[in-house]
A and B are shown apart, each in its own frame.
Chain A
Amino acid sequence: MIQLKVNGSARKFDGDPEMPLLWYLRDVLDYTGTKFGCGAGLCGACTVHVNGEAIRSCVTTMKDAAGKAVTTIEGLGAKQEHPLQAAWKQCNVSQCGYCQSGQIMQAAALLKVKPKPTDADIDNAMQGNICRCGTYQRIRQAIKIAAEVKA
């Protein structure tokens, strides 16, 4: 039996310990804000926080998530909207919107360690998150607005 916390709630899981966290979140808990994009840690669409760090839930097994605290996009601004969520709206970042949960979770982890990121910091942190619609310049702009650094 695997025990973990998801968005603040205690959860128990007795299925395949090798199952990626992504499918537990999506198929079992119905937290569908976390998206499947590649299944191989290559695109970032499935990014969630585990113990505060951004990870790819498509290559993180339930076994590895045991005993940890998971935050998904649904949990990020549950109490109060995250500044990134406000900035995303201000910049109208989304086109199709599919990758944006992962983008925001990745950016949120960045701002935790680098509250005032440079362009290079942003490139570095965000290069694992693909947006096929091509919203990168607005993502960068929104991160800067949320971090209150000069665009």
Chain B
Amino acid sequence: MNRIEHVSRRGFLGTAFGAGALVLGVQMNEAEGATPNWMPSVYLGIEPNGTAVIVAHRSEMGTGIRTVLPMVVADELEADWKRVRIEQAIGDVKYGSQNTDGSCSIRDFYDAMREAGATARLMLEQSAAKKWNVPVGECKGQNHFVVHAKSGKKAGYGELVKVASTLPVPKKGEWKLKPESEFRYIGKEMPTMEQADHTRGAGKFGIDAKMPGMLYASIERPPVLGAKLKSFDDAAAKAVKGVVRTATIDAFKPPHNFQALGGVAVLADSTWAAAQGRKKLKVEWDLGPNGSFDSAKDKAEIMAKAMQPGKVVRNIGDVDKAFAGAAKMHEASYYVPLLSHAPMEPPAAVAEWKDGKVVTYAATQNPQAVQEAVAGAMGIKKEDVTCHVTLLGGGFGRKSKPDYVCEAAMLSKTVGKPVKVVFSREDDIKFDFYHANAGMYMKAAMDEKGRPTAWLQRSVFPTIGSTFDASAEYGQEFEMGMGWVDLPYAIANHRAENGPHKNHVRIGWMRAVAHIYHAFAIHSFVDELAAAAGRDRVEYILDLLGPDRKVPIEPVGMKYWNNQQGQDTYPVDTARLKRVVELVAEKSGWANKKPQKGRALGIAAHRSFLSYVAAVVEVVVDDRGRVTIPRVDIAIDAGRIINPERARSQMEGAAVFGTSLAMMGEITAADGKIVQSNFNNYPVARMPEAPLMTHVHLVPSNGLPAGIGEPGVPPIAPAITSAIFAATGKRIRELPIRKTKLV
């Protein structure tokens, strides 16, 4: 059987780590008396044969993090990359946060990975010094050997493991980090570990995981959020060949959090039989208060609220006074619909309940959240949930929410066998934690050059906070911190507001989160102001950003989220934003590509996840109004970049993801139920619709590392609509663009 092999089962750590222990120093192999594997850190071990085993504690969903963090360890260790094996960690608090979202893996673990590598290197050097009876300062780790230049002696890392494992782990300050000039992997273009596997279909994803004797489940979930099961008839379902039984899952108790939605499951001996049985279920629901939810009405409500004063979240100068005396004004409203993540691999997990404990193999961005959610569902301790992390066939935030793992665990307990849950695509689209729909109202007063003297912005959207507190209606600190309270422009009078709105579906974070709608409104509005002033858009953006400075962000009634980093370490720096604008303008040939009828460039620049990104998109609008994108240029300053190759691939992907949501993405509900179901009515960009070529321009930097996975997304939609306006004169204020006729 083709089974996924994992750290705690078959691999190095399974024999080397005790459960839940913070392990430093030596651990014995299963075979008594054998040379021990050596674990100087939770992230790193060396086997007696010299193989360096590096633990990937973050989830691999396509960003390359499973390769890129180990590159940092290997560099400080002075490991030979060919002698590195990567093992995926199970969920365990000893690794620190494993929640792979928020574009923070490098930012939060760069130092820890260097420390792990440097500590082990020093211990290997100490071992060699002991062995050769020379001062440790004369021994140097180099490409998997410790060498003593004076005597010409050389020892492989494997040979030194036995001695190294007897040494005390050096304290901070005893080990030294390598100088940048000696970096072996950091900053280098390196292929990810899984490239070859993926050309042979050998990568193991959640959907590929199997457990002996498992049943396949297909679940009929409540069609409306909060709907209750009234009755069901499973006679016909049970008559389907291969169906073993049915089982109910209790409805969640509010707030829904990451709980299973509830419903009726059909369990069978194959995916197909389970799906066939489910079609034969007759289920009646009490739809409850969300049964009247309707997207058209919801949108109208949001747009009306956006016209009403909201809660003030940032206030500079006196906007009302400036508006009262202004000669020139401009205002506009924008709308972005609900969106679904739609990763190519739908949510998938297999779980087994046995003796009061759960073991699961799951495509999850957050194995510790799996432990907590499953433990909560089963009434056990989270330490009694073992979560093996598979590869993820895309995540985009969906797989941070482990409702599907809870379902598998709950069903396993009911049926007494391991159970595999795989969402159909229809399940995935209809039972997502949706990216919020949002309305934004913008208003500015301008001076004679068309530069704003006062700027008001107001947003209204259902908050992600409703996932954790059913009564939450205002944007949370982190949502306000995403491109809303941190407007970096030099404008004397500025007020940002947020209005309340109730959720009627599950709302969750999706790649770039609140930046998506905030960036769309802000940069569309900048584009409108530039057009109203008859000014070049690049020049206008640079003027708005004003002098090079670090903009202190002081919101009202909350802290500036800033990805939970201080403004002293990660300030809002207009010089960096201006630099990416200038770079992308230069590389895209902005100055020489004046807009023509049906073909033009558009631009937007946005700071998110502590990175600075500017995008120029070229669109062609043909005489039937069809939009194609021959070229995108993206410039990013993300501080230090560990693997430029993967940074580029993330920007290329962000251009496509941004194109999908700008051009075609829209989820709607009628009578409380999600209307869309599959890629026919929830389209995403295919090859001919995606940008033909995205050119990525990385700003060289040794600054503090910032985000890569998400920051490419926010500027894409407003850059596309900016280009469409330049090419056609049509101003698009509502996404998706496909709803607007361009000719």
Chain A: residues with CB nearer than 8 A to chain B?
15-16, 19-20, 23, 26-28, 30-40, 42-43, 45, 72-74, 77, 84-85, 88-89, 92-101, 104, 122-123, 126-140
CA distance in complex: A104, B692 (Å): 19
Chain B residue nearest to A84 (CB atoms) is B199
CB distance from B622 to the nearest CB of A (A): 15
Chain B residue nearest to A100 (CB atoms) is B198
Instruction: Judge whether B199 and A137 touch: CB under 8 Å.
Output: no
B171 interface residue (CB < 8 Å to A): no
Question: A98 and B201 in contact (CB under 8 A), knowing A19-B272, A23-B272, A130-B679?
Answer: no
Instruction: Judge whether A96 and B270 touch: CB under 8 Å.
Output: no
Stretch of B121-129, B202-210, B456-464, B478-486 that contacts chain A: B202-210
Instruction: Judge whether B656 and A97 touch: CB under 8 Å.
Output: no
CA distance in complex: A38, B192 (Å): 27
Partner of B272, one of A16, A38, A100, A139: A16
Instruction: Judge whether A27 and B344 touch: CB under 8 Å.
Output: no
Question: A20 and B688 in contact (CB under 8 A), knowing A33-B202, A39-B425, A96-B61?
Answer: no
CA distance in complex: A78, B205 (Å): 21
Partner of A30, one of B1, B194, B205: B1
Tally of chain B residues near chain A (CB < 8 A):
69
Instruction: Judge whether A134 and B391 touch: CB under 8 Å.
Output: no
Question: A95 and B679 in contact (CB under 8 A), knowing A30-B1, A101-B201?
Answer: no
Instruction: Judge whether A36 and B207 touch: CB under 8 Å.
Output: yes
Question: A97 and B198 in contact (CB under 8 A), knowing A20-B272, A30-B1?
Answer: yes
Partner of A135, one of B216, B342, B426, B652: B652
What are 9 contact pairs spanning A and B, CB under 8 A? A16-B272, A30-B1, A31-B201, A36-B207, A37-B345, A42-B678, A92-B192, A95-B62, A96-B61
Instruction: Judge whether B655 and A134 touch: CB under 8 Å.
Output: yes
Task: Report the tally of A-B residue pairs with Cβ distances under 8 A.
Answer: 189
Instruction: Judge whether B687 and A126 touch: CB under 8 Å.
Output: yes
* Main SS class of interface, B: loop
Instruction: Judge whether B657 and A134 touch: CB under 8 Å.
Output: yes
Chain B 329-357 per-residue mask, 1 if CB under 8 angstroms from chain A, else 0 = 00000000000001111100000000000
CA distance in complex: A77, B215 (Å): 32
Partner of A37, one of B60, B203, B344, B685: B344
Chain B: residues with CB nearer than 8 A to chain A?
1-2, 60-64, 191-192, 194-205, 207-208, 210, 216, 241-242, 270-273, 276, 342-346, 391-396, 422, 424-426, 645, 649-650, 652-657, 678-680, 684-688, 690-694
CB distance from B103 to the nearest CB of A (A): 15
Q: Which residues of B contact A74 (CB under 8 A)?
A: 200-202
CA distance in complex: A135, B645 (Å): 13
Partner of A98, one of B2, B393, B653: B393
Q: Which residues of B contact A43 (CB under 8 A)?
A: 344, 425, 679
Question: A132 and B392 in contact (CB under 8 A), knowing A34-B201, A42-B680?
Answer: no
Q: Which residues of A contact B679 (CB under 8 A)?
A: 38, 40, 42-43, 130
Known: A42-B680, A74-B202, A132-B684. 16 other contacts (CB 8 A): A15-B241, A16-B242, A16-B276, A27-B270, A27-B272, A33-B201, A42-B425, A94-B199, A96-B60, A96-B391, A98-B344, A123-B687, A133-B62, A133-B344, A136-B656, A137-B652
Lowest 4 A-B CB distances belong to which pairs?
A33-B201, A134-B656, A98-B393, A96-B62
Q: Which residues of B contact A138 (CB under 8 A)?
A: 649, 652
Instruction: Judge whether A97 and B693 touch: CB under 8 Å.
Output: no
Question: A97 and B191 in contact (CB under 8 A), knowing A32-B204, A139-B687?
Answer: no
CB distance from B495 to the nearest CB of A (A): 37
Instruction: Judge whether B687 and A27 touch: CB under 8 Å.
Output: no
Partner of A94, one of B192, B207, B210, B241: B192
Q: Which residues of A contact B2 (CB under 8 A)?
A: 30, 32
Instruction: Judge whether A23 and B270 touch: CB under 8 Å.
Output: yes
Instruction: Judge whether B201 and A89 touch: CB under 8 Å.
Output: no
Instruction: Judge whether B201 and A95 touch: CB under 8 Å.
Output: no
Q: Which residues of A contact B686 (CB under 8 A)?
A: 127-130, 136
Chain A residue nearest to B677 (CB atoms) is A40
Q: Which residues of B contact A40 (CB under 8 A)?
A: 425, 678-680
Instruction: Judge whether B425 and A37 touch: CB under 8 Å.
Output: yes
Instruction: Judge whether A135 and B271 touch: CB under 8 Å.
Output: no
Q: Which residues of B contact A96 (CB under 8 A)?
A: 60-62, 343-345, 391-395
Partner of B653, one of A19, A32, A101, A134: A134
CA distance in complex: A126, B198 (Å): 18
Chain A residue nearest to B4 (CB atoms) is A32
Q: Which residues of A contact B346 (CB under 8 A)?
A: 36
CA distance in complex: A133, B425 (Å): 17
Question: A123 and B688 in contact (CB under 8 A), knowing A30-B2, A40-B425, A136-B656?
Answer: yes
Partner of B687, one of A36, A38, A92, A136: A136
Q: Which residues of A contact B345 (CB under 8 A)?
A: 35, 37, 96, 98
Q: Which residues of A contact B426 (CB under 8 A)?
A: 39
CA distance in complex: A138, B63 (Å): 15
Q: Which residues of A contact B649 (CB under 8 A)?
A: 92, 95, 135, 138
Instruction: Judge whether B394 and A98 touch: CB under 8 Å.
Output: yes
CA distance in complex: A33, B650 (Å): 24
CA distance in complex: A46, B61 (Å): 19
> Which of A34, A42, A137 has most chain B Cβ within 10 Å?
A137
> Which of B204, B208, B271, B273 has most chain A Cβ within 10 Å?
B271
CB distance from B676 to the nearest CB of A (A): 12
CA distance in complex: A39, B620 (Å): 33
CA distance in complex: A122, B426 (Å): 29
CB distance from B693 to the nearest CB of A (A): 6
CB distance from B639 to the nearest CB of A (A): 22
CA distance in complex: A96, B395 (Å): 9
Partner of A39, one of B270, B392, B396, B424: B424
CB distance from B121 to the nearest CB of A (A): 29
Q: Which residues of B contact A133 (CB under 8 A)?
A: 62, 344, 394, 653, 656
CA distance in complex: A39, B218 (Å): 14
> Which of B196, B395, B691, B694 has most chain A Cβ within 10 Å?
B196
> Which of B62, B208, B241, B685 has most chain A Cβ within 10 Å?
B62
Q: Which residues of A contact B692 (CB under 8 A)?
A: 137
Partner of B200, one of A33, A98, A140: A33
CA distance in complex: A45, B194 (Å): 18
Instruction: Judge whether B394 and A94 touch: CB under 8 Å.
Output: no
Question: A97 and B393 in contact (CB under 8 A), knowing A23-B270, A127-B687, A139-B687?
Answer: yes
